[in-house]
Structures are given as C-alpha cells and as structure tokens.
Amino acid sequence: MDDFIAGLPKAELHLHIEGTLEPELAFQLSEKNGIAIPFQSVDEMRAAYNFKDLQSFLDLYYASISVVLTEEDFHDLTMAYLKKAASQNVRHTEIFFDPQSHTDRNIPFETALNGITAALKQAQTELGISSHLILSFLRHLSEESAIQTLQQAIPFREQIIAVGLDSSELGHPPSKFVNVFAEARRQGFRVVCHAGEEGPPEYITEALDLLQAERIDHGVRCMEDAALVERLIEEQIPLTVCPLSNIRLCVFETMTEHSLKRMLDAGLVVSVNSDDPPYFGGYVNENFLAVQEAFDLSRDQLVKLARNSFESAFLTEEEKQKLI
Ligand code: ES4
Ligand code: ZN
C-alpha cells in the first residue's frame, strides 16, 4: 500500500508554509541570522512537538518562524517543501502564508511574498509542480489588522488566488471577519476558511453564510450536525482534512476515532493534507498511510481521496486533466 499511495498523483490544498520549517533548517537559519532558538539540538526541538491543543502548537509555530528573515530564507523554506511534495507525487499545491506573522516582526509583506513566489515559479520549471498561494488572516488579531493586510496584498493581487482564515479558532468565529472577506471578494479573491477544527459546527455554517467560503479547511466537526452534512454534500463544498494534525492537536484521541472515514462514506468531498508536516509527524503520503492503516481503506477509496484533492482545487477542468 505504501507504493500505491506514493504513486498516486495528488494535490495538496491545506499546507501552511510557515509550518513546513524543519528543525535542521531552523538551526541553519538561527546561526546565519543570529537569532537564538530555545533548543540545544534538532532532536530536542523535535521532542518539543508534543501538543495538548491548537494553542500549544501555535505558540511554538509563531516562536519558531522568528529565524526566517530574508527573501532568500522564505525562498529556501518554500523550495524545501516543494521538493518534498514533488518527491511524494504532489502535482499541485495551494499554499497558505500568514503575512501578519511577518509584518508584526517588521518584515515587509513583499519580502515574504517575493521569496515564496520565486520558489513557486522555480519549482514549476524545475520540478513540474504547480502552485497557488492563499493569504491567510490570523483570526486572533483584529479585523482592522486583517483589512490592513488585505490592502498590502492589492499590488500583488495576481500572485494570490484566495484569502483564508487560520490561527486560534475558539472565540474567534468567522463573523468577526465579515467586512474584510466582503472586500476581498470584491477584489476578486477566492475564499477558504479554517472552521470546525476545534470550533463547533456553527463556525462552518458562518464561514459558508457570512464569508461565502468555497472550501472549508478541516471541517471535521461537521459530523456533529446532520443538517450541515447534508448541505455540504448538496453544495459539494470541499473539506481539506489533515489527519495527523488532528491527532497531534488532540481533536481526536486516536485515528480510528477520526471522522475522515465517516465523512468519506457520507459522500463529502474530503481530501487528505498535511497542514504543518514537521510538527505533526508527516507529509501527505504519511497522512494517507495513517488513515489507510486506521480504516483499512481500499485502493478505490484512496483513489477517491486523491481525485477529490484535484476536484477541490482552484483549477480549471483543463488544468486538472493535465495534472492527473
Ligand atoms: C494551523 Cl493546524 C492549524 N490550525 C489553525 N491555524 C493554523 N496555522 C497553522 N496551522
Ligand atoms: Zn491549517
């Protein structure tokens, strides 16, 4: 089954570029940039990837990105992920970046954006992997801060396909961001939203009704609301599920309790993604393997999950056909 999963053409639609920082690169950048990290070794850093909930992970995620400073650093971070993804037969990626986690430490918006987009272009040519970029607002910050971030993105409108919403979910519902998402839609951005990871099914409904989200990130708690599940199927709203992330952040205790199989059986458009791979113990193939083992998924079910990833992407039918 390992070989079968490895051979499947896949799209990865739920991946935070800041969350792809491997400890080895973190130490290299720490030395190069003279920014200390609170760990003695790569092993000690990896051992700290032990989380009790989303917030305990986010605290380390925001602290760790402090070593990434220059355009070249953003390029190298992005290129390292794209090489890994291409090696796993990922043909297309839609990558989140969190500009506020950089502008808040006085790194210009365009430093992050230019480094990331340079790597996306290089990987298209050198690795044959295509990519889109999604600007994600940090939901623990104010809507005003999100509006400022959207304004910074306007000159780069053509390089960013969509806007999203991530970070601490509980207490920061989609309704907090109605105005900024309305403006983003007016500017022509597509819309996705993290919802129903730690937050209740009502946040998924808000993301659909108030933000007009076209795709839901995680959404695993939708199974608590039968009417919502019916709607998600009816409207064919894709859900980008990240199985290892959900286990590491204690959304589910064990993989056999994860809602992915029930979601798939219900007819929801679910895909498998890696979220923040070094932190959660695996890239996309490791995520596929973990769910295959937990649910004894058949080859047909694995093919369905991989096909769903292309169906859920912001690609034209013609672009999809070329990639599969
Ligand atoms: C995230 Cl797993 C997860 N959830 C919400 N926001 C995030 N940012 C990076 N990873
Ligand atoms: Zn995420």
CATH number at residue 219: 3.20.20.140
**Ramachandran region, residue 279 (left: φ > 0; alpha: ψ -120 to 50; beta: rest):** alpha
State whether the beta carbon of 12 lies less than 6 angstroms from ligand 1. Answer: no
**Ramachandran region, residue 287 (left: φ > 0; alpha: ψ -120 to 50; beta: rest):** alpha
Spatial distance between the Cα atoms of 234 and 218, rounded to a whole number of angstroms: 18
Per the residue annotation, which of 12, 169, 197, 206 is the catalytic one?
Answer: 197
Spatial distance between the Cα atoms of 300 and 191, rounded to a whole number of angstroms: 30
In ligand 1, the atom with minimum distance to the C-alpha of 16 is: 9
Q: Whose CA is nearest to atom 7 of ligand 1?
A: 167
Strand order in the sheet with 269-272: 10-16, 90-97, 130-138, 162-166, 190-195, 215-218, 238-241, 269-272
Known catalytic residue at 230 = no
State whether the beta carbon of 276 lies less than 6 angstroms from ligand 1. Answer: yes
For residue 291, the CA-to-ligand 2 centroid distance in Å is 18
Total domains present in the chain = 1
Q: What is the dihedral of CA 310, 316, 322, 323, to 10 degrees?
A: -30
Tens of pLDDT along the chain (324 residues)? 999 999 999 999 999 999 999 999 999 999 999 999 999 999 999 999 999 999 999 999 999 999 999 999 999 999 999 999 999 999 999 999 999 999 999 999 999 999 999 999 999 999 999 999 999 999 999 999 999 999 999 999 999 999 999 999 999 999 999 999 999 999 999 999 999 999 999 999 999 999 999 999 999 999 999 999 999 999 999 999 999 999 999 999 999 999 999 999 999 999 999 999 999 999 999 999 999 999 999 999 999 999 999 999 999 999 999 998
State whether the beta carbon of 245 lies less than 6 angstroms from ligand 1. Answer: yes
State whether the beta carbon of 64 lies less than 6 angstroms from ligand 1. Answer: no
Q: Whose CA is nearest to atom 8 of ligand 1?
A: 167
Residue 31: give the domain boundaries: 2-323
